[in-house]
Structure 1
Amino acid sequence: MDKKNFLSLLKRYQDGNTTPEEEQMLLNYLESFKAHQEDSWPLELGNSEELKNDILTGILQNIKKDKSSAHINRRFPYSNLFRYAASIVLIAGAFYFFHEMYETPKNGLRNQEVDDSIVLKLENGNTSVITENDNKDIMDSHGNVVGVQSGNTITYGKAKKELKELVYNELTVPLGKKFDLVLSDGTSIKLNAGSTIKYPVRFVETTKRVVQIWGEAFFDVTKDEARPFQVIANNVQVEVLGTKFNVSSYPEDDDISTVLVEGSVKLSSNSAKTEENSFMIVPNQKASWNKENETMTIEEVETDIYTSWINGRMIFKNIPFKNIRKKLERRYNVTIINNNKALDEKFYNASFDIETIEQVMKAFKENYSIDYEIADNQIIIN
């Protein structure tokens, strides 16, 4: 969100015409806003400290009010505020502090609308919040349009002239959310909750197409024999020409896994403790790289189990509960504390799609006699 859109949104907030989602965008922008130079304070606005206190008072009053109230009047006492973007810097830190103090629910699960946001990091380190129902241009640090956001998808365009140097963006999807990405070569990527991907805004014609992933993503790669596509996931490199596959590389997991749906892929590792450091898999196979042993295992699998998350489903088939816990935490952005350690090693079958976390845990309790309680966004299993 640029300065112009920010001021426009702030004006709408002042008039009481913003949605809770837009208010969250405003809060996130204020949190990340940094002043690059010290602007002189306009004399016509009066004393800066008095203005700052008036604004903060208005913010506190509105934050404490019931969110369901229609069109709360948020008028501040100075009508010329919006002519001076630099004055917003004065209240950014305090605004975020008071928001956190009064907006965090005290009981039950957190409201996902006021939780972590999807964040796009540009090549110069600047970040912007991505709102899932937004439609806007994606700019680089020089103000050039490099892509378009349409809802929960960002699509990057092809370069109008040949590039000699790669420029990277980084997209982070928090727990409890998913997001789609289309690269400049047409490759489609679906990012699962708790994932980050680093990728070139546009690819260079003479080099491999390389991206890095932390977390989980499903790739549908556009075929280009002259430029292989490579995914780097921790210590594993997955190389393809054109294919569909799922990569899971969460830091807390023991393994980095690649499940092939279509085509073929070559996996390699510089630290493989075998005579070979590269492996080929075919459709319906999963390659798992063990981080501790630094060894690769390949097995036949049902790919639907590993790609169902794309369509909002979770399928567990003969899966240990410790792995189920991790997936539930990512999907619903909750913390699960298991005091029944023997439970972690038991294997279960289950499938869910539109259920809430409360319904999921109720199903486990009814079918597998798992005792639990929910408190302060934590699920405690006894």
Structure 2
Amino acid sequence: MDTEQIKILLERYNQGSCSPEEADIIDKWFEQINSRQSVIADDRILDQQLDEVKLRIQEHIRPAPQVRNMRPWYWSAAAAAVVLAAGAFWFSNRPLSADHTGSQPLAQLPATGSTRIVKDGFVEITTAKGARENITLPDGSTIALNAGSRLRYPVDFDSTERSVQLQEGEAYFVAAPDPARRFVVRTSDLATTALGTAFNIRAYDSENKVTVALISGKVKIEQLNSKSNTAMVLLPSEQISFDRLQLSMIKTSFGKPDEVTAWKQGYLVFKDAPYKEIVTGIENRYGVTVINQSNKTAWNYTGSFKNENLAEVMDIICIAKSLSYTIKKDTVYLVNQK
């Protein structure tokens, strides 16, 4: 690990964004430094301590709500330890290209970057990577459209149905009550019908599943282009995942709504997320393309980010998965750790 990477981990510790196990490891490390009553330690001992931190942290990076205030002396000790250890210990040999400056844009998304076209009685809205859009429909329903998404709806709804097409991407819907006209959101695979309901749909073309999660109210999910007329009803805190390869739906439950809708507040959240979902999240958040040149393509990751820049996010994920990376302009290359 280089000096900057150790600094990132210590900052996450101080902000309370590391896991309890990770924090416990760092606490014990500081206690060991304190017990010697000296910041200046033998390089070999520091190498051994940092090596233990690395091995314990690699597969246990998760968000934690508790915030810890690190005492000034600990910061001094940590800083001194970093300086002593940086030359002898490398957490991950990550050669950065000349294009990498460490000043990538923050995770907070800009309000611009979408296109809106009105044609043949329909409105089509497309959000670019790194952008979101808030939409109010003719009936008063609202939609938060995530980055890299495409939405289509009529300028005026008809008298029997309020139909919206999520052609790709992710969106959060709050359907205005209207008992006379059902509110239907269609993707290429599913139709979600609701009355006075708030729900989230994720349907990116690059991913093998479509997810519908219900926040409040009640929805019915129907599989399109199926002879079996498969349908499921969701209650609050329930979600379905439709497997595009197996053409099957599975119902599960989730805890807090933030697990599903945190992206609306600018968070990048992964909960045991597969590789493709992680790539989609990073590409849409930072407006980049991720190319995997490593031999690791089937892995999951749990963690959350908000104000971290691209380099910090890549540092943390690559530490957890024993990978390295380089950034060249708007492309991130994942490579095997040397």
TM range (shorter): 0.5 to 0.7
In the alignment, structure 1 residue 298 sits paired with structure 2 residue 212: no
Match of residue 271, structure 2, among 317, 337, 341: 317
CA contact (8 A) 2:123 2:155 kept: yes
| Equivalent residue runs for 1:225-236 within 5 Å | 225-236=179-190
Gaps of 5+ in 1: 1-105, 125-166
Residue of structure 1 aligned with 2:195, choices 228, 232, 241: 241
Q: Does 1:282 align with 2:235?
A: yes
Matched, 1:375 2:328: yes
Partner of residue 328, structure 1: 282
Partner Cα distance (1:179, 1:215) in 2: 12
The structure-2 alpha-carbon separation of the partners of 1:300 and 1:111, relative to structure 1 and needing over 3 Å to count, comes to closer
Give the conservation status (yes or no) of the 8 Å contact 1:320–1:348: yes
Distance 1:270 1:119, change over 3 A: closer
1:196 pairs with 2:192: no
CA distance in 2, matches of 1:349, 1:295: 25
Deviation string, structure 1 residues 225-276 (Cα, Å, up to 9, x no partner): 1000000111210000111100111111111110111111001123347x55
How well do the aligned residues superpose, as a CA RMSD in angstroms?
2.5
1:366 CA displacement: 4.0
Counting aligned pairs with the same residue, the percent is 30
Cα distance in 2 for partners of 1:370, 1:226 equals: 55
Distance apart, 1:191 and its partner CA: 0.3
Q: Distance in 1 between matches of 2:265 and 2:311?
A: 20
Stretches of 4+ aligned residues off by more than 6 angstroms: 109-113
Paired residues of 2:113 and 2:132 also in contact (CA < 8 A): no
- Separation of aligned partners in 1, 2:276 and 2:329: 21
Aligned CA distance change for structure 1 residues 366 and 221 (closer, same or farther; 3 Å): same
* Structure 2: unaligned runs, 5 residues or longer: 1-97
AA partner of residue 327 (structure 1): G
* 2:215 counterpart residue number: 261
Distance in 2 between residues matched to 1:108 and 1:186, nearest whole Å: 45
Q: How many residues align?
A: 231
TM-score between both structures, scaled by the size of structure 1: 0.56
Q: Deviations over 1:86-111 (max 9, x none)?
A: xxxxxxxxxxxxxxxxxxxx955999
* Higher RCO structure, 1 or 2 (CA under 8 Å, sep 6+): 2
Output the CA distance in 2 between the equivalents of 1:237 and 1:184.
20
Does the CA contact (< 8 Å) of 2:126 and 2:151 recur in 1? yes
The alignment's TM-score, normalised by the length of structure 2, stands at 0.63
Shift of residue 369 of structure 1? 3.4
Q: Secondary structure at the match of 1:364?
A: helix
More divergent stretch after superposition (301-310 vs 235-244): 301-310
